[in-house]
Amino acid sequence: MDPRELYQELILDHGRRPRNFRVPEGPTCRAEGKNPLCGDHVAVSAVVVGDRVEDVGFQGSGCAICMAAASTMTEAVRGHTREEIAAMFARFHGVVTGAASGDAEDLGKLAAFSGLSEFPMRVKCATLAWHTLEAALQGRGEPVSSE
Partner 1 sequence: MTTGAFDVEALRDGFPALRQQVRGRPLAYLDSAATALKPTAVIDALTGYYTRDSANVHRGVHLLSQRASLAYEDAREKVRAFLNASEAREIVFLRGVTEAMNLLAQTLGRARLGPGDEVLVTELEHHSNLVPWQMAAAAAGARVVGAPVEDDGAMTAARVIERIGSRTRIVAVAHASNVLGTVLPVAEIAAAAHARGAIVVVDGAQGAPHLPVDVRALGADFYAFSGHKLFGPTGIGALYGRADLLGALPPWQGGGGMIETVEIESSTYRGLPERFEAGTPHIAGAVGLGAAIDWLCGLDRAAAAAHEDALLARATAGLSRIPGVRLLGTAPSKVSVLSFVLDGVHPHDLGTLLDGEGIAIRAGHHCAQPLMRRYGVTATARASFALYNTTAEVDALVGAVGRARELFG
Query: Is residue 42 helix, strand or coil?
Result: strand
Which residues, numbered 50-79, are part of the site for partner 1 (CB under 8 A)? 61-65
* DSSP string covering 11-35: HHHHHHS-TT-SPPSS-SEEEEEEE
Residue 24 Cβ, how far from partner 1 at the closest point, in Å? 26
Region binding partner 1 by CB under 8 A among candidate stretches 1-9, 23-31, 51-59, 106-114:
1-9
Q: Where are the beta strands (DSSP E) in the chain?
A: 29-35, 40-49, 52-61
Among 14, 34, 78, 122, binds partner 1 (CB under 8 A): 122
Choice from 94, 119, 143, 145 touching partner 1 (CB under 8 A): 119
Q: Which amino acid, residue 67? A: M
- Of the pair 6, 104, the CB lying nearest partner 1 is at 6
Least separation in angstroms between CB 61 and partner 1 = 7
Q: Alpha-carbon distance 97 to 1, whole Å? A: 15
What is the SS3 assignment for 103? Answer: coil
Which range touches partner 1 (CB under 8 A), out of 32-40, 75-83, 99-107, 129-137?
A: 32-40
CA distance 89 to 144: 15
Binding interface with partner 1 (CB under 8 A): 2-4, 6-7, 12, 15-16, 37-39, 61-65, 119, 122, 125
